[in-house]
């Protein structure tokens, strides 16, 4: 259910009905204290809004959302399997 709701919010953001700050806040909420489930949901949400966020607020999306999260080794491996390894700050496991 959460993925479906976030897909709807992503579509609202992509159509500029909702502000991109809402998408950023959702990403921050999901990745602030990451669990395996929240990382999976964040990846689904990011796949829907990444292009919008990189166009409208690239510094916020890249620096804060992608680099500020602290992922465990298992969560980094999930990202690697999903081919998100192009984002090096995601691949650094937290100590």
DSSP 3-state percent helix, strand, coil across the chain (nearest 5): 75, 0, 25
What is the C-alpha to C-alpha distance for residues 53 and 32, in angstroms, rounded to an integer? 18
CB 48 within 8 A of CB 8: no
What is the C-alpha to C-alpha distance for residues 90 and 79, in angstroms, rounded to an integer? 8
In a domain, 95, yes or no: no
Instruction: Please tell me the total count of domains within the chain.
Output: 1
In a domain, 16, yes or no: yes
Which positions ≥6 away from 38 have C-beta within 8 Å?
Answer: 30, 31
Closest C-alpha among 49, 59, 61, 45 to residue 15: 49
Supply the range of the domain harboring residue 49. 2-90
What would the two tokens of residue 50 be?
A: 């990444």
In a domain, 69, yes or no: yes
Predicted confidence at residue 9, as pLDDT, reads 95
In a domain, 34, yes or no: yes
User: Which regions in the chain score pLDDT beneath 50?
Assistant: 85-95
Predicted confidence at residue 10, as pLDDT, reads 93
């Amino acid at each position: 259910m959460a993925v479906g709701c976030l897909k709807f919010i992503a579509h609202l953001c992509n159509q500029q009905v909702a502000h991109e700050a809402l998408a950023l806040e959702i990403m921050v909420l999901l990745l602030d204290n990451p669990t395996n489930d929240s990382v999976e949901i964040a990846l689904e949400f990011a796949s829907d809004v990444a292009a919008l966020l990189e166009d409208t607020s690239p510094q916020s999306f890249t620096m804060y959302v992608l680099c500020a999260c602290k992922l465990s080794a298992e969560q980094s491996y999930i990202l690697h399997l999903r081919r998100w390894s192009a984002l090096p700050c995601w691949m650094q496991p937290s100590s």
